[in-house]
Structure 1
Amino acid sequence: MRRVTFAVDYPPSLAHPMHRQLEESPVSRAELLMWGPMDTVTTLAWYEGEPDAVRSLLDAVESSTTVDLVAGDGGTYAFVHQTEYELGAPVLDLVADSGVVFLPPVTFEPGGRARFEAVGESEFLAAFHADLREHVDATVERVAAFRRWATPAVDVTARQREALAAAVAVGYYEVPRTGSVADVAAELGCAGSTAGELLRKAEGALVRGFVGGQRG
């Protein structure tokens, strides 16, 4: 099986209302962690922004009936109950009918760009990509073999996990190394010092978890 990272540019007509509002918001991005493509849904997301800014952003989503915010991991978690999902119907139908599985998070950025991962057999992933391109500008950023991993007993934040994924993608962990911290920072859209700190904290948590798991 394959694990594919897609980058999609949504036109305003198909973008979720929250995604459209990112362009004018101090919230720099959103990560949709848990969701369900149905008429009514409660989602869990993480936003790179302060709670007040996140609440203002979500106030623009008319279908939101309940919003509970919790500060954490350098941003704000949000539990949002919606009376409808509000993603463009053609894309939502395509997701529901596809023969692949979608992995969290779905990352939303200003300008209509979203990134997500899908897992499946090559022919189904190719068919999904072809169908998706009939509605939006969609590109494949990365293809890798899918492997089952045990859940590590480590405390790694979503942003630290994203830094590790970026480091792998740019070759930071290759031998010999083909990518740098600056390359990781470019992938994340942050300063080099921030990328370095994210990697160090994530690596420290992983090593402590691994060593602790080997004891006894």
Structure 2
Amino acid sequence: MKRVRITLRPRGAYAPPIYERIAGGASYLERARIVNWNVSSPPTGFLFRLEGTYRRFERELAESPMVSDYEVIPVTDRECYCFLEGDVSAAARSLFENFTRGSLMTVPPIECNDDGTNTFTIVGTETDIQSAVDGVPDGVGVTVEQVGGKRVAADSVVGRLSDRQREAVATALELGYYDVPKTATSADVARELGCATATAAEHLQKAESTVFESLIGE
């Protein structure tokens, strides 16, 4: 059996409106993961783990014509689980089904990235994995990120940070924000990131909180 981590870039009919919202289309969502799903028969069901101002997303679900049912389960005031059931295009359904054929298993969660892509791990025989990658439609970009490795899924503390949080921390390290004595401020980090100082400080604070919780235990 082989393990392969891939990134997909669905477009058009392969990217339902709800997916576009959680994959960079809603600035109020800082991180979105697809924890589980069921595309065996209509309607399609998804379970998301969301971070950010998720109540705004809940309002969008209530107004979406594709969503037939949903439930938001708060974890904190900034994190929740979100179950939804609804109709997706045949193209979007076929894209999911492409990675469930033969010996293949998709290892959750699927990380929904801010640039519209999603990244996940598949496990299966080399032949079935190659067939799945080759079977990705022309309207969907596909990149093989890693073959093999010691981990089946991204379970490190770094994997728990959003893309923007990782970028903020990397920038802060490069500028000397964490040096002793400190040689950079959150304003310097914000300038490099091209965002407001308060936004950069929030990214750093949330990243630090995640790291410390991982080290000490929630």
TM range (shorter): 0.5 to 0.7
**Secondary structure of the structure 1 residue equivalent to 2:83:** strand
What do the CA deviations read for 1:40-78 (whole angstroms, capped 9, x no partner)?
Answer: 243321112223212133245423222211221541211
Tell me the residue number matched to 2:67: 64
Distance in 2 (CA, whole Å) between partners of 1:165 and 1:201 is 14
Q: Select which of 101, 105, 111 maps to 1:101.
A: 105
Q: In the TM superposition, what are the counterparts of 1:52-91 in structure 2 within 5 Å?
A: 52-59=55-62, 61-72=64-75, 74-82=78-86, 84-86=87-89, 88-91=92-95
Within 5 Å, which residues of 2 pair with 1:1-216?
1-22=1-22, 23-38=25-40, 39-59=42-62, 61-72=64-75, 74-82=78-86, 84-86=87-89, 88-97=92-101, 99-132=103-136, 134-145=138-149, 161=155, 163-165=157-159, 182=170, 191=203, 194-205=206-217
For structure 2, the 5+ residue unaligned runs are 162-168, 174-192, 194-199
| Structure 2 counterpart of 1:153 | none
CA drift of 1:146 comes to 6.7
TM-score by length of 2: 0.66
SS of 1:104's equivalent? strand
CA distance change for structure 1 residues 24 and 42 in 2, over 3 Å: closer, same or farther?
closer
For the aligned residue pairs, the C-alpha RMSD in angstroms reads 3.6
The number of aligned residues is 180
Given the superposition, is the C-alpha separation of residues 66 and 90 from structure 1 closer, same or farther in structure 2, using an over 3 Å criterion? Answer: closer
Question: Deviations 1:103-133 (Å, cap 9, x if unpaired)?
Answer: 1111223442111111112232122112226
| Cα distance in 1 between the residues matched to 2:206 and 2:26 | 24
C-alpha separation in 2, matches of 1:5 and 1:125: 11
- SS class of match (1:62): coil
Contact 2:107 2:121 in 1 (8 A): yes
In the alignment, residue 163 of structure 1 is paired with which amino acid? V
Whether the 8 Å CA contact 2:71–2:83 is kept in 1: the answer is yes
Question: Secondary structure at 2:119's aligned position in 1?
Answer: strand
35-44 or 54-63: which moved more?
A: 54-63
C-alpha contact 1:25 1:57 (8 A) present in aligned 2: no
Contact 1:7 1:141 in 2 (8 A): yes
Give how far 1:163 is off: 2.8
How far apart, CA to CA, are the structure 2 residues paired with 1:120 and 1:108? Answer: 22
**What is the identity, as a one-letter code, of the residue corresponding to 1:69?**
V
Q: Structure 1's 95 and 57: CA in aligned 2 closer, same or farther, altered over 3 A?
A: farther
Q: Distance in 1 between matches of 2:126 and 2:216?
A: 35
